[in-house]
Amino acid sequence: MTRRTTLTSSLMERAWRVAAIAHAGQHRKATEIPYLVHPAAVALILQRSGFADEHLLAAAVLHDVVEDTDWTLERLADQFPPDVLEIVDVLTEKKHDEQGVKRPWAKRKAEKLERISKSSIGSRAVWLADKRHNLETMAFDHIDDPDFWSRFNAPKESLLKSYRDGVEAARHGDPRLEHLAEECLELLAKLEEQS
């Protein structure tokens, strides 16, 4: 049986609270926009795209907590079901090696692409919604900032190729994924035209 929800169930309330605490003080890259806007947008994109399972939406709200804060998957395990944790784990990029040294961008993206291509529909849905929101904000930011591409850890061409490869790897298996992928590809085309 599919769990249906709004964005205000008790599980969602817990996810919103954890994400708000974990991302407190963080902002979107090179902006003053509070980071929490991003996971909220990802959850809204998923819900609008027909994904209404509360565990999937909770994972969307939490998808960057382990990757971008000091929270661990083990800490989340005390509060969230295994299927939420599985999606968060799949979407968490290992940014540093065992010695704490930042790993090369291209290697991290290749590993992530491999994981995404083999992951569940739920993981791929959150991935695509995340990419869709990132691309949409990039299109806005590009208009406002002539030095926009310097914010990133990779050249523009590599970044756009990484997005395109990820979208193609995640789009199979469900018409809702295809729809999200097409929205991402339209935004990618818009960014390429703007540059």
Catalytically active residues are: 67-68
- Please give the Cα distance from 107 to 122 (Å, whole number): 24
47: amino acid identity, one letter: Q
Sign, CA dihedral 6-11-16-17, equals positive
Using CB atoms within 10 A of its CB, is residue 51 exposed (0-12), middle (13-18) or buried (19+)?
Answer: buried
In the chain, count of helices (H) and strands (E)? 10, 0
Find out whether 23 and 69 touch, Cβ atoms under 8 Å. yes
Collapse the DSSP code of 121 into the 3-class scheme (helix H, G, I; strand E, B; otherwise coil) and give the result.
helix
The span from the first CA to the last CA of the chain, in angstroms, equals 46
Using CB atoms within 10 A of its CB, is residue 37 exposed (0-12), middle (13-18) or buried (19+)?
Answer: middle
Find out whether 133 and 42 touch, Cβ atoms under 8 Å. yes
